[in-house]
Amino acid sequence: MNDLEKLERAKYYLIRLAEGTDPISGQEMPEDTCLNQVRLARCFYYVADILNKVIENGGTVGRKPSVKKEELLLHNDMLSRMQPAEQALQISDFTKRINQIIEEYGMRNLPTTAFTNWLVSKELLREELTRGNKRRKVPVPAAEGVGIFSETRSGMYGEYEAVMYSPQAQQFLIDHLEQIVEMWKNK
């Protein structure tokens, strides 16, 4: 019997006790037994509910413990696995692709801003304010030379400009990943 099965059985026993039934024999317990007190029945239900949450969480009490990830160190094996997608992507989707590989090595993920801030420093993106006074990064004319462009899209709230990264632009970022990581670490 594994631990989850033991937890299930313990929960079953507590519920049966809370109902006033002997969990082993299945017979009703006498009224005068201390196990038939209302306060104990409430306690049994309460603990059974906690056990149920532990069971739903895969046997872990509380939140699953987070694993401390190592500092991001790039190496040739990791870099050789990073390939551009066959189609243009938004930077968030490109970052997810890169982080999937990084996660396999147990290292800290790169935020999207590591890429966009580096591109701003290389004067391929610039920051501008939107109507809602939010900052966004948009490509400058020179960005088209590396494959970064804007595309009008329709969304829930109307049309918007999506910044797209062609396979060429994705390869450009992969080729400069060491510089991008170094700049991100120094901020």
Cβ-count burial 41-68 (b if 16+ within 10 Å, e if not): beebeebbeebeebbeeeeeeeeeeeee
Contact 91, 180 (CB under 8 A): no
Q: pLDDT of 123-167, one tens digit each?
A: 999 999 877 788 889 999 999 999 999 999 888 888 888 999 999
Query: Over 90: is that where the pLDDT of 121 sits?
Result: yes
- Among 18-22, 142-146, 167-171, the least confident range: 18-22
At residue 74 the predicted structure's pLDDT band, cuts being 50, 70 and 90, is confident
Q: What is the pLDDT, as a whole number, of residue 65?
A: 57
Contact 146, 124 (CB under 8 A): yes
